[in-house]
Structure 1
Amino acid sequence: MGSEAVLEGHYVQYAHYNFESTSVELGRAQWPNYDDQHYLRSCKWSPDGTCLLTVVRGAGMHVMELPSDLYNGDSIMNSRQIQALMPAVSVPESGLIYDYCWYPGMNSSTAATCCWAASGHEGPIHLWDAFSGELRCSYRGFNSVDELEAAISVTFSADGQNIFCGYKKNVKIFSTGRPGREYVEYPTNHPASCLVASLAQPGVVAIGTWKNSIELVSQSDGSFRHLCKLTGHKGGVTTMAFSHCGMRLYSGGRKDKEIICWDLRVPGRPLFCVPRDANTNQKITIDISSCGKWLVSGGTDGKVQVWNVEENSTPTTHYQLPLHNDCVNGVSLHPYRPVLATASGQHHTLDPLHHTRNTQSYENALCMWWVGNSHDDPDYITSIIKAASNV
């Protein structure tokens, strides 16, 4: 918890979370309920923590900046005014976005690193500029009859040198610095619905499939080696996260009310399972804090579940944060500040008799929440600032 990291050129400590206290809403962006339903599809903090990326169905991709007053300080006022979040960059991509991922070496002080990759319906993988929203380049995957094929999932390698893209029958690996249609294939038995690369063990990639299984592979020098296969989910795997030590893998599936923790040193069976509410086919993401202590997950009940996974067995420290009145499909913990981002919304079916949706105002929102220490006394904050200035 006392380790340091760099944020905007300054050394800062990892976040000190306080999930026991009331979460303070910091900022919110809301999308209206048009006929094509502008619900969100998860959210992801940039690796340097300066901005937040989200995808809105039918309304493109949007980048929100972290409010400037949140870069410093160990506490905030409970009465802090909620800030309206406005996109710093928007990409009006009207088609359905399947998956997206920040470049792992992204740093706002180096413009060349500020980008993300996204895969959409009936299109190639695009690399987007995070400053201008312009398209930098594309990576095109083709099937056995030389037809352009859309990737179901996408992620970067730990060093950012390669882009792993999941397709119906294989995983294609593109060199990030070489756009076009040159790639290496790794065959899979089922569609690769979810991909994640290990930061602690470069070259190790987990491939989740719609057939409820996970395959771990090791990739180096263009060759692949099968490591192990993990089975246990009741639904297709849609979200995964490696622990920061690389020894554990957390995974969740669609219509599957369990998050499974796998000990990769003994991969034969799950280490433990924790429950969450997930009763739709929608992707509901999980995330791990930078310190490696906290696992968070969204849920269709509008609650964010939080577990302390530093405990050796099944976590006993568990918090439920009722933050939304609709499905929380995306959660992302800030890399260095006690700020939680959430994305809400889901597909709501038509009334079969009137072919309309009910008049309820659905919550299609991107929110930032303070999950650290907070106070009601303004003199407390003043004393902290004075004490810091006297050091």
Structure 2
Amino acid sequence: MTVAPKSLCTSHVHEGRLEASDTGDSSVFPRLARWCPDGSVALIQYEDATFNYPELPTELLGISVDATTLPLLPKRLTQPAPILDYTWYPSATIRDPASFCFVASVRECPVKLFDASDGRLRASYRIVDHRERQIAPHSVVFNTGANRLYCGFEDAIEVFDIHRPGEGTRLHTTPSKKSRDGLKGIISALAFAPDMSSDLYAAGSFSPSAPSSSNIAIFSESTGEVPVMFVGAEGQQVGAGYGVRASVSQLMFNPARPYLLYASFRRVEPIYCWDLRGDVTQPVEILTTLSPTAPIGTKLRKTSTNQRLRFDIDYGGKWLAVGGEDGGISVFDLAAHADTVVGENAAHTDSTPRNMPVMQYDGHHDAVGSVAFHPLRSLLLSVSGSRHFDRSNQSAGYSSEESEDDEDDEIIACDEDAPPSDQAKSTRITINRQRLQPTSQDSSVKLWDFGGGAGVAV
């Protein structure tokens, strides 16, 4: 697979609106893109607390306009505060108005269930702390049966019956704040195993793992708040500790092999994979763009951005795509190391297999915050943008110049011991009180086609 995919359409962002003709910089950029489960539309979360439906060709998405009357979707859905996370209803389809909805977590607001056709609020689910304050979860996910909503926040997971709005059931991931047991910190990632016969789900924390415990745990709906197991160890070296020792950014199970769990971490380049059938203290595969000869523990694997760079796995479980902070997109073949997955009686090994990308191409000119495979076609949606501060004119926070007077409000510096002739010439220090505003180098949304000879059949 050496042929780069074909770019079908590109939309640039300007003031929170998608305009295909605009190529200028903007402080508003897309953060996260997710396809509707039927692949009819995509929903994108933006930096300015808005949702947007990108204008994509319906003929490329496999939608027959003659067979159904598509609703007129709103261009923007504005929220009163920053959006922390959102997810589609698992069986949402544009052809069924009742199921066409999604859940969003908005800061200091109840969890909201929106009608995706017009943005109307259908229901809200309250999470209240001991001070009677509204808590917005950092991660939301539906269970496999699509009848419960799981919301992760600090040291707890709130579970709601989606048919009964209001308050839910709280599952504490740690006995107390002072306890060293359990899963501590903000639950930043949740993922259910895509297996109807299993009720397992994974939870990850923003708090880096301690030397004696991991920040990724496996829970079961039937057992409640007692973890089934903890996942992850970076290595078996002496003093290596437990876990990758970084904040969990994303968790995802392989759709075709639900016993494989993939995880990405903040400021860490590789993506780790564990096999839940065997020893979960050792990863069975590490997906990295580094050279196979480079030590995985070196500083080369660190990235400079705290932004979440979300990966995605196609519905066949064969391909994994992820964007980089330099604008590149990497595609990994997950089937290449399928036979190396260890079982229950496998022995420990210090040499974890490395999976290198089978394809890399330049997708954007800024950090790729999210990629999403189309559920039915060989298409990939990618979004880019990040915060950049131009400090060229404000490197020191102030400027100084020679002045003969003391007018305006600038600070005048004089030396009282200097001769009178020198006292007349003072130094004016101008303090720049204007707040430095961030900009994005490339705020864009792109749709890629892997069907034209690229070799990726989703």
Question: How would you bin the TM-score normalised by the shorter chain?
Answer: 0.7 to 0.9
TM-fit CA distance, 1:182: 3.0
Q: 1:193 aligns with which of 171, 174, 188?
A: 188
Q: 1:292 aligns with which of 317, 324, 335?
A: 317
Equivalent residues in 2 for 1:156-167, closer than 5 Å:
156-167=142-153
TM-fit CA distance, 1:197: 1.2
Cα deviation digits, residues 231-251 of structure 1 (max 9, x gap)? 332420011110122110111
Structure 1 position 362 matched with structure 2 position 375: no
Partners of 2:92 and 2:206 in 1: CA distance: 30
Structure 2 equivalent of residue 211 of structure 1: 207
Equivalent residues in 2 for 1:1-391, closer than 5 Å:
20-32=2-14, 37-64=27-54, 66-72=56-62, 88-188=74-174, 189-200=184-195, 202-212=198-208, 213-220=215-222, 223-231=224-232, 232-244=243-255, 245-266=257-278, 267-275=280-288, 278-312=303-337, 313=340, 314-316=354-356, 318-351=358-391, 352-353=394-395, 356=436, 362-373=441-452
Higher strand share: 1
Give the structure-1-normalised TM-score.
0.81
Matched residue SS, 1:223: coil
> What value does the CA root-mean-square deviation take over the aligned residues?
2.5
Partners of 1:69 and 1:184 in 2: CA distance: 45
Q: Which runs of 5+ in 1 are unaligned?
A: 1-18, 74-85, 376-391
Partners of 1:299 and 1:292 in 2: CA distance: 21
Whichever residue aligns with residue 54 of structure 1, its letter is I
| Structure with more contact order per residue of length (Cα contacts < 8 Å, sep ≥ 6) | 1
Contact 2:89 2:100 in 1 (8 A): yes
Give the structure-2-normalised TM-score.
0.70
Partners of 1:50 and 1:66 in 2: CA distance: 9
- Percent of paired sites with the same residue: 27
Whichever residue aligns with residue 285 of structure 1, its letter is R
TM-fit CA distance, 1:216: 0.7
Matched residue SS, 1:128: strand
Partners of 1:374 and 1:219 in 2: CA distance: 43
TM-fit CA distance, 1:357: 5.8
Contact 2:148 2:162 in 1 (8 A): yes
Partners of 1:113 and 1:264 in 2: CA distance: 32
Q: Which runs of 5+ in 2 are unaligned?
A: 17-24, 64-71, 175-183, 209-214, 233-242, 290-300, 341-353, 396-431
TM-fit CA distance, 1:45: 0.8
Partners of 2:162 and 2:73 in 1: CA distance: 27
Partners of 1:106 and 1:171 in 2: CA distance: 24
TM-fit CA distance, 1:152: 1.2
Partners of 1:65 and 1:126 in 2: CA distance: 25
Whichever residue aligns with residue 268 of structure 1, its letter is T
